[in-house]
Amino acid sequence: MGQRKPIVAGNWKMNGSPELIKEIAAVSAQVTSEQREVLIFPPAVLLSEAISAGLECGTQTVSEFDAGAYTGEIQASLVKSLGANYTLVGHSERRSIYGESNEDIANKFAQAQKNGLTPILCIGETQEQRTEGKTEEVVKQQLVSVIEKLGIASLVNSVIAYEPVWAIGTGLTATPEQAQETHKYIRDLLRSYDEQVADALRILYGGSVNESNSELLFAQADIDGGLIGGASLKPQSFKAICESAKG
Ligand code: PEP
């Protein structure tokens, strides 16, 4: 297995402030190292400020279109020109609240890469799907929709975030064993397309990660760091989570 440098990424959702940017920038400077990458996904209106504060950043979504009459949308080329290098695509809130389909998300993934942004593709099953035993089927379909459209090579410049929907913002974290089981499934599935791509790809876990559970989660063989929501708004918690990700 190749060496994979872990990522700890903070998804602020529609939260945060210029003050929080300063606090998190100070934390990030302390914990960014050879051991790990630290990324922040602030609201788009705070992106310039976050980049100026020295944070490595991305947006929480991007438009699938190049430019034009798309009121309210976020243009990938402008995100890149501001100095951001990443974007989330397919976060479960985008899927469930804004109705983004696997096809929309594949288009956003392509648009991000076309403009030099690394997409972090978020996938994961709902509680109902898990109860029905459909976890693998759901994450497979979410991944395959990108692979069928863009090819397995498109995953070279990407990151996957496995986020069981039932664990996001609920305080219900997947156990390290549950998370590892699905991460291994994802990596094995990708290995069936291309072993090198699968071995090099970073697969983050997301869903109620905090400073008490991050160490065990990140210690799992196929978990390469985390996508952190609520705890990324608390500088000391975020710092401790970052420190538990070791390359
Ligand atoms: C998220 O929004 O991606 C997330 C994982 O949130 P939380 O950590 O709050 O569950």
Would you say the CB of residue 230 lies under 6 angstroms from ligand 1?
yes
Of 3 and 177, which is predicted with more confidence? 177
Q: What percentage of the chain carries pLDDT values higher than 70?
A: 99
Residue 161 CA, closest ligand 1 atom number? 3
Domain assignment present for 203: yes
| CATH number of the domain where residue 104 is located | 3.20.20.70
Q: How far is the CA of 30 from the centre of ligand 1 (A)?
A: 23
When divided into structural domains, the chain yields a total of: 1
Residue 226 CA, closest ligand 1 atom number? 5
Domain assignment present for 38: no
Domain assignment present for 167: yes
Would you say the CB of residue 11 lies under 6 angstroms from ligand 1?
yes
Task: Pick from 60, 96, 163, 211 the residue to mutate for probing ligand 1's pocket: most ligand atoms within 8 Å of its CB.
Answer: 163
The predicted model gives 33-45 an average pLDDT of 97
* Band (3; pLDDT cuts 50, 70, 90): confident
**Angstrom distance (rounded) from CA 109 to CA 103:** 10
Given a cut of 50, whether residue 1 has pLDDT beyond it is no
**Angstrom distance (rounded) from CA 103 to CA 107:** 6
Given a cut of 90, whether residue 153 has pLDDT beyond it is yes
- pLDDT tens for 176-213 read 999 999 999 999 999 999 999 999 999 999 999 999 99
Q: Which domain holds residue 214?
A: 61-233
Domain assignment present for 3: no
Domain assignment present for 196: yes
User: 56, 64, 91, 93: which one is catalytic?
Assistant: 91
| E strand or H helix at 96 | helix 92-97
Average pLDDT value over all residues in the chain: 97
Would you say the CB of residue 241 lies under 6 angstroms from ligand 1?
no
**Angstrom distance (rounded) from CA 204 to CA 9:** 9
Would you say the CB of residue 229 lies under 6 angstroms from ligand 1?
yes
Domain assignment present for 74: yes
Q: Does the active-site annotation cover 243? A: no
The predicted model gives 232-245 an average pLDDT of 98
Q: How far is the CA of 196 from the centre of ligand 1 (A)?
A: 29
Please, are residues 66 and 36 in contact by the beta-carbon 8 Å criterion?
no
Of the candidates 120, 116, 83, which has an alpha carbon nearest to the alpha carbon of residue 105? 120
Domain assignment present for 114: yes
**Beta bridge partners of residue 87, listed in sequence order:** 59, 119
Q: Does the active-site annotation cover 163? A: yes
The predicted model gives 45-70 an average pLDDT of 98
Domain assignment present for 12: no
Q: How far is the CA of 210 from the centre of ligand 1 (A)?
A: 10
Instruction: Say what the pLDDT of residue 247 is.
Output: 84
Place of tokens 């983050």: 204
